[in-house]
Copies of this chain bind each other. A is one copy, B any other.
């Protein structure tokens, strides 16, 4: 692999970035479609409109392509969530928002959602070395809300933030996974699901009961 060398010119960096993203997007589509190990580099290359060899100018190998894909997308998602939550005051509303945001991810990019739910788990290696950091940050944003709710007395103090954030995430992840892998996706109502989940969780943790 030889990373392009004219990265110091603005021109060059832009061209580099553009193709890098193009490959990443192609990989996302192909991997989501057939699964990582059934996907061929050639398929990704032709989906990206580049030569097979070009992939190796931008990524170390096939594994690195998957890793980079997760890194980039998860980072994007984390940033997105941070922005989405930025100006929402109440913890209940923040919780509502975070649930909507997660469901929105699946709605807007089922390809990526499918990849994350299915392939991210595939390899403990990826899980541990690369994606974990980003995933942890994502989960922490959930945890922060729960923590804040406890602190402000809006949420009951007697549950483990750490455990509950996983419970919440797992519930959403599974529900999205079902939706994503469902061929007649239209008939299932993600919004309804979001409402139910919000109700359940608020009823369970609200202090005023």
- Residue on B with the closest CB to A169? B174
Is A166 part of the binding interface, using a Cβ–Cβ cutoff of 8 Å? yes
Would you call the interface of chain A mostly helix, strand, loop, or mixed?
A: helix
Is A49 part of the binding interface, using a Cβ–Cβ cutoff of 8 Å? no
Is A76 part of the binding interface, using a Cβ–Cβ cutoff of 8 Å? no
> Contact: B42 with A177, CB < 8 Å?
no
A124 vs B121: C-alpha distance in the bound complex, in angstroms?
A: 14
A140 to chain B, nearest CB (A): 14
Is A117 part of the binding interface, using a Cβ–Cβ cutoff of 8 Å? yes
CB under 8 Å from chain B, chain A span 187-201: 192-193, 196-197, 199-201
CB under 8 Å from chain B, chain A span 153-204: 159-160, 163-164, 166-175, 177-178, 181, 192-193, 196-197, 199-201, 203-204
Is A2 part of the binding interface, using a Cβ–Cβ cutoff of 8 Å? yes
A196 vs B161: C-alpha distance in the bound complex, in angstroms?
A: 10
Residues in chain B near residue A201, CB distance under 8 A: 200, 204
> Contact: B122 with A35, CB < 8 Å?
yes
- Residue on B with the closest CB to A200? B204
Is A9 part of the binding interface, using a Cβ–Cβ cutoff of 8 Å? no
CB under 8 Å from chain B, chain A span 72-125: 117-119, 121-124
A166 vs B172: C-alpha distance in the bound complex, in angstroms?
A: 9
Q: Which of B128, B159, B170 contacts A174 (CB 8 A)?
A: B170
- Residue on B with the closest CB to A33? B124
A126 vs B174: C-alpha distance in the bound complex, in angstroms?
A: 17
A4 to chain B, nearest CB (A): 13
Is A67 part of the binding interface, using a Cβ–Cβ cutoff of 8 Å? no
Q: Which of B122, B172, B193, B199 contacts A122 (CB 8 A)?
A: B122
Q: With A122-B122, A171-B171, A203-B204 given, name 9 new contacts (CB 8 A).
A: A35-B122, A37-B37, A117-B121, A118-B121, A121-B181, A163-B175, A200-B201, A203-B203, A209-B209
6 cross-chain pairs, A with B, having the tightest CB-CB distances, nearest first? A170-B174, A204-B204, A37-B37, A167-B171, A171-B171, A170-B171
